Amino acid sequence: MAKPTKTSEAKGRGKNKNDAVETELTDGILGTDQDNEIFGTDSSENIFGYGGDDEIRPYAGYDVLDGGEGSDTYIVEGYTGVKEFADTGLGVSDYDIVKAYGDATTLSLSQFGPDCGIEEISSDGYAGFRIWGTGSNDNLDFSATTLSGVTHINTMGGNDTLTGSNGDDNLFGGSGDDVVSGGAGDDHVDGGSGNDVVSGGAGNDTIVDGYGADTMAGGDGADRFVLSDASASGDVIEDFDPSEGDTIELAYASQMEGYESWYLTQDGDDAVLNIALDDGSSYELATLQDVVVADFDAATWDSMVVA
């Protein structure tokens, strides 16, 4: 991020916590080398804290935020949109954190990743703190960031890429053809509508297909695959492994009009999960890659597939 330059035209205010010195800018808001409390405006702008342990409060617009050196705190409240966190502090002891201020706070991001310089995003004890995408093609990767008290992350619309943290995350792809990965932890991962690629990563995860033809993988651990639309077909489960305790849930199948039962067939190296209807017809619901139906008896399959 380019550092803003001082001018005589005020667009925002940077206040030194000790000396109450104002900094006036045209292309952004610039702090000092001391501890600053910096307030954004209702415009989209660059905010640069410079040095010190700064407290930065973006307002409206989609800002680019860089606290610079020091351990910086970014305060978000209500609905706050941030175009990019780009904290350039390189101190070994620097710890940069985003905190909610108030219940039902929404942090909207278009991009986030390991290089953004943020160690933690926290609800700070407030309820209903959530992270949303922008409805465009967002790229959000929280694998190097601790999420504390975040109820869920939803990319909303667009063809997005979303990676969770090392904790237990609730991730939703929203509409569009998304790539959603839980990372480590026991995650709930839902691709939403669209033809998604959904994976749980390490941990005992719940993988939900949403609406569309999805490719699903649980990763290590005892994973639960939820096929939420039993009237659709085309899903692929890449790593269904009963030896790890994996299960499949046919959500709402028994309430579906005409539903009679499920059954399995073999197609080459893969097992195929089929839905039988009471009019005598049937259709393929999902493919279980590299699974041999005959390796398990009927009682075992009944324990692994729940309708």
Q: What is the mean pLDDT of residues 187-192?
A: 94
Whether 81 contacts 74, CB under 8 Å: no
**pLDDT tens per residue, range 164-177:** 999 999 999 999 99
Scan for tokens 């709402």, then name that residue: 252
The β-bridge partners of 162 are: 140, 180
Record the tokens describing residue 185, joined without a space: 């932890």
Q: Please give the pLDDT value at position 271.
A: 96
Q: What is the mean pLDDT of residues 196-224?
A: 93
Confidence class of residue 6 from pLDDT cuts 50, 70 and 90?
A: very low
H or E stretch at 298: helix 298-304
Whether 208 contacts 191, CB under 8 Å: yes
Confidence class of residue 203 from pLDDT cuts 50, 70 and 90?
A: very high
Q: Please give the pLDDT value at position 231.
A: 63
Q: What residues contact 297, with CB distance under 8 A and at least 6 apart?
A: none
User: Cα–Cα distance between 190 and 199 in angstroms, integer?
Assistant: 9
Phi-psi region of 272 (alpha: psi -120 to 50; beta: other; left: phi over 0): beta
User: Cα–Cα distance between 89 and 74 in angstroms, integer?
Assistant: 14
Neighbouring CB atoms inside 10 A of 73's CB total 20
User: Cα–Cα distance between 253 and 228 in angstroms, integer?
Assistant: 8
User: Cα–Cα distance between 206 and 302 in angstroms, integer?
Assistant: 19
As a whole number, the mean pLDDT across the chain is: 88
User: Cα–Cα distance between 131 and 4 in angstroms, integer?
Assistant: 28
Residue 10 pLDDT greater than 50, yes or no: no
215: three-class secondary structure by DSSP: strand
The number of angstroms, rounded, from the C-alpha of 236 to the middle of its chain's C-alpha atoms is 22
C-alpha pair distances (Å), 232 with each of 28, 51, 103, 192, 193: 50, 55, 38, 14, 12
pTM: 0.88
Q: Please give the pLDDT value at position 238.
A: 97
Residue 297 pLDDT greater than 80, yes or no: yes
Greater confidence (280 vs 18) lies with 280
Whether 92 contacts 61, CB under 8 Å: no
120: three-class secondary structure by DSSP: strand
Q: Please give the pLDDT value at position 303.
A: 84
C-alpha pair distances (Å), 243 with each of 10, 183, 184, 240, 295: 65, 21, 20, 9, 11
Neighbouring CB atoms inside 10 A of 46's CB total 21
231: three-class secondary structure by DSSP: coil
What is the largest distance, in Å, between two alpha-carbon atoms of the chain?
Answer: 81
Q: What is the mean pLDDT of residues 227-254?
A: 85
What beta strand segments (E) does 18-127 contain?
28-30, 36-39, 46-48, 55-57, 62-66, 73-76, 79-85, 97-100, 106-109, 111-112, 120-122
294: three-class secondary structure by DSSP: helix
